[in-house]
């Protein structure tokens, strides 16, 4: 495949070999920008597969590139043994810059939208890159992109702003207004159900302080019943004497 679009891959190379190749491609002008981030292997419950430690790689180019030839450059033979199985990259794929970056750092809100969950999370500081300023710019653009448009709308609705008001202020396109009104109804219904469930759970958890042995409050403590000592009265016989 030949492309000039951003591409990404998963690398199983050693970090030293990978970085040396990326530096070479950058100096030669073939790669305009790159970054990589090391990931711990995670266990996939759906496939029952334990992944190996790996490195996510992202590349941008100034011109078209042949991804097959590019992949051959990352064949790494340990100890120079050409007969051994080489370490290498997975096939390169065209990648969306914002999605790739947010996924590579396992951004929690982004993963939630994809119905995914990861055991490990990362930050921008974990990324090694050829241009830190450009990386920060990508991250800023990603956080303000349409990826999080739904989350911004939900925050507005939580603060009391309706979709009708958003339309009035031009925050919602006219061709999306009907869809947004349906979303607003579903969102409010879901929020109501969650709030009701929380309230029902709270009521179930409430305990009467007078019946809770763990509550110690002298002002509300039940008065202890006074123990009555049982006594046995002896029967006495009365005699009437006549004078």
pLDDT in tens, 94-123: 999 999 999 999 999 899 888 888 999 999
Q: Is residue 155 part of a domain?
A: yes
Q: Is residue 109 part of a domain?
A: yes
Please list, in sequence order, all residues whose beta carbon lies within 8 angstroms of the beta carbon of residue 108, skipping any fewer than 6 positions away.
121
Q: Say whether pLDDT at 163 is over 70.
A: yes
Cα dihedral sign, 74-80-86-87: negative
Q: Say whether pLDDT at 231 is over 60.
A: no
Q: How many domains does the chain have?
A: 2
Q: Say whether pLDDT at 128 is over 60.
A: yes
pTM recorded for the entire structure: 0.69
Indicate whether 118 and 158 sit together in one domain: no
On whether the CB atoms of residues 10 and 26 are closer than 8 A, the answer is no
CATH code, domain carrying 64: 3.40.1310.30
Q: Is residue 228 part of a domain?
A: no
Rg (CA), the chain: 35
Q: Is residue 185 part of a domain?
A: yes
Q: Is residue 108 part of a domain?
A: yes
Q: Is residue 28 part of a domain?
A: yes
Considering the chain, what is the average pLDDT of its residues? 83
Residue 190's pLDDT band (boundaries 50, 70, 90)?
Answer: confident
* Closest residue by Cα to residue 22 from 129, 177, 150, 160: 129
Domain limits for position 6: 2-144
- Say how far residue 138 (Cα) sits from the centre of its chain: 19
pLDDT at 179: 78
Indicate whether 188 and 109 sit together in one domain: no
Indicate whether 78 and 106 sit together in one domain: yes
Which tokens go with 166? 């958003």
What burial letters (b/e) apply to 185-217, b meaning 16+ CB within 10 Å?
eebeeeeeeeeeeeeeeeeeeeeeeeeeeeeee
Indicate whether 26 and 79 sit together in one domain: yes
Indicate whether 32 and 118 sit together in one domain: yes
Q: Say whether pLDDT at 39 is over 90.
A: yes
What CA–CA distance (Å, rounded) separates 115 from 92?
24
Indicate whether 140 and 201 sit together in one domain: no
């Amino acid at each position: 495949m030949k492309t000039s679009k951003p591409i990404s891959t998963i690398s199983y190379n050693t970090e030293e070999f990978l970085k040396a190749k990326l530096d070479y491609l950058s100096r030669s002008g073939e790669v305009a920008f790159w970054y990589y981030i090391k990931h711990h292997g995670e266990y996939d419950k759906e496939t029952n597969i334990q992944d190996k430690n790996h490195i996510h790689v992202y590349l941008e180019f100034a011109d078209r590139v042949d991804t097959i030839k590019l992949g051959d450059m990352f064949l790494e033979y340990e100890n120079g043994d050409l007969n051994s199985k080489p370490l290498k990259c997975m096939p390169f794929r065209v990648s969306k810059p914002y999605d790739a970056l947010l996924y590579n750092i396992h951004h929690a809100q982004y993963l939630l939208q994809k119905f995914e969950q990861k055991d490990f999370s990362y930050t921008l500081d974990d990324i090694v890159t050829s241009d830190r300023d450009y990386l920060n710019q990508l991250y800023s653009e990603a956080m303000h992109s349409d990826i999080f448009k739904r989350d911004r709308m939900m925050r507005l609705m939580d603060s009391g702003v309706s979709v009708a008001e958003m339309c009035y202020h031009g925050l919602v396109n006219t061709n999306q207004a009907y869809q947004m009104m349906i979303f607003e109804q579903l969102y409010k219904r879901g929020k109501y159900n969650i709030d009701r469930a929380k309230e029902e759970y709270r009521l179930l958890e409430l305990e009467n302080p007078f019946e809770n042995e763990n509550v110690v409050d002298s002002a509300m403590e039940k008065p202890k019943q006074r123990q009555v000592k049982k006594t046995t009265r002896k029967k006495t016989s009365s005699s009437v004497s006549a004078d």
